[in-house]
Structure 1
Amino acid sequence: MRVLLGVTGGIAAYKVALVVRRLKEDGHSVRVIPTESSLQFVGRATWEALTGEPARSGTFENVPSVEHIMLGQRADVVLIAPATANFLASMAAGEARDLLGNALLATTAPVVVAPAMHSEMWRNPATEANIATLVARGVHVIEPAVGRLTGADSGPGRLPEPEDLVAALYAVAGRMQIDTHAASAATREWGDLGDVRVVISAGGTREPIDAVRFLGNRSSGHQGFALAEAARERGADVTVVAANVSLPLGEGISRIDVETSSELADAVRSAASGADVVIMAAAVADFRPAESSAVKIKKDGHPRVLELVETEDILRSLIESKSSHQIMVGFAAETGDGAGSVLDHGRAKAVRKGADLLVVNPVGATVGFGNVPTAVTILDATGEVVGTSSGTKLVVAHAILDQVAARLPR
């Protein structure tokens, strides 16, 4: 599982290094977010060496990856240890003063806090009220141990021992039905697409009728661009072939703009030659005009017949020529009709195309297109359902990439 570990500015922070080691030994992926004050006790290099992951503190340290949101979204469980009185107050107030505060507001994962402070601070009515607020919101609180504190003081407020913190974390994860077994950890890294080369097509092609008119579709490119952003967040080297998309892309993503299905085919074929994963999210025209006029066609009072010819099946040609290590992902935007449902048509397409994964989604004049929530069913090459997802296009993008990551050679 993915553990997001927040370390705040108490001297007990040194104990948490052993928590990280135990979690890593058990096969879990850990990202540490230290607050700036905690770095007075344990340095950033320690957390990065133990986890093999960056240990950033500031909201603006890695803006292109939108880490202040992504870290919270991707976490399976969150542990704050030690949780100082000051941080508990900030957390109860819903403040987003730094990267850790932002990530907590962005997560829907179970949150566990392990308070550590002097006894007087622990018993202070303000701290007691903050703890009650957090508990009412569903936060799990590990009671402080009783024992030696800083200096000569003793009493309640001591951070529990590392093995007790890990046991409490596993207990919460178990109740929330989170997989705590190492067997699944290999496919659940924070950067599980590190150094993976991903090519994504996005948008909708336009096939010219004359100098000003074209045959097109409603695709906006939002899902393809969400896939690009999600893949970049997970460490991939991403190239997007964008067909008539006006949306911006984040830094670090290569972009190739095209217009027609023929241009898209050439661009994707060229980019795919060195790719590990190809995701055909673009809505490619099935037909194009047999002839296109170089000038605008004028009205003359007579009906006109537009002869259409089929365009190349780009996904099929990519599958037929792919290397053994490549993963091919196709999309099936379906409406359903008298011959079958959306899923029926999707299953038939999965078997016909032979892509490693086929993402099926219902579309229509008011469904699926644009920056709106969506729902998908993910099929394998035999047409069997291997996953479903619904929500924002970024949420769906991560669900698709979960399936991709699980199929990458290790």
Structure 2
Amino acid sequence: MSEHLSDEELARFLRESAEGTAADAPKEPSARARMVTARLREQEARGELPQGWRTPADLGGHRRRAARHRRVKAALAGVVVLGLAVLALNPSLLPGHPWGDGPATGDPATARRLPAETAAPTAAPGAAPGAATLEDPFAGSPAARWQEGAESVVMPPAKATGVFSRQQVARALEGTRTLLVDANVAPATLRGAQPKAALGVLDPLQPELLDDLRTSLRDPGEEDNPLLLFSRFDPEETRVVGDRVRARGRTTLEEGERGALSITADYTFVYPVTRADEDSTEVTRAVVRRVLRLEMPDPERVVATPGKLMIKRYDSQWSNGGCGTADGWAHPEFPSDPHGAAPSGGATVDPYDRSGAVGAGGECGVFSRI
């Protein structure tokens, strides 16, 4: 009578035999058991049995995958913690400033800068706390929230206007920006150097303009005053604190007369200054608002240099320093000066009020704040 074993019985028999615990294990395996065992070993050698049929052969791989998974989770957790720490130290990185906009003080590290001006203001900006110091020269000024340096002169997007393509308009706007920055922001110009870049964008075919401007820079006087277009401080008397200048304004463009591209630039520049003496700590500010109307003529109608600008009109209004001077330098007054920080007489002018026409308060008015 042949003896048939099920797979489960055979597996249990082989396991108990290996462990020496089989209660009814024969001392000598039967011929059938030896045959089955040999067949299973041959199948295992050929790879015909599933991995781990006798032992957990993949246990090491499983453990390695589990360890790798734990390491990935730990790394991701570290990234999340680091990101939260960065946001806690720099909440402005989140859109909308979820913890508030911060105080509008003169500290550039905490003041939220205003977006570019896109329309004429309807009123003067509000009061700002603080007082100017060498470390914080814009404290107490609305300019504490303005952009600084060349970045403060922002041009509108270029668009085709009249007979001029978008590329031609873009070149005209870039020339306008070069003129404003080199004439009012460049440190060399502020110390009296020739504003070559500003002069370079102007059309040499415009009668007498460049000659008059160069004369005013070379030999200033009451009739040839460079301060009408350029900002300059006598380096032997005054220095701009850290060469820092802030400005706010806008540029608009439209089709002008006889097909010209007409550009109007209206900007207010603020200069924190101290005395030239290196030991000086007293700080005041000079402010100038400039309105320029420029044109790029239609070359089919007007003799002009392609890509150059013509100045049709330029107006300026200085507060503290550039009014009534004839030597080509702005001379800001300090609070400790005998006459205080403002000229006497004339209408009162808020130098930060950009809602009215330039010069509305008179050429040499008293400034209400600085």
Q: Please tell me the TM-score bracket, short chain as reference.
A: under 0.3
State the structure with more CA Rg: 2
TM-score by length of 1: 0.20
TM-score by length of 2: 0.21
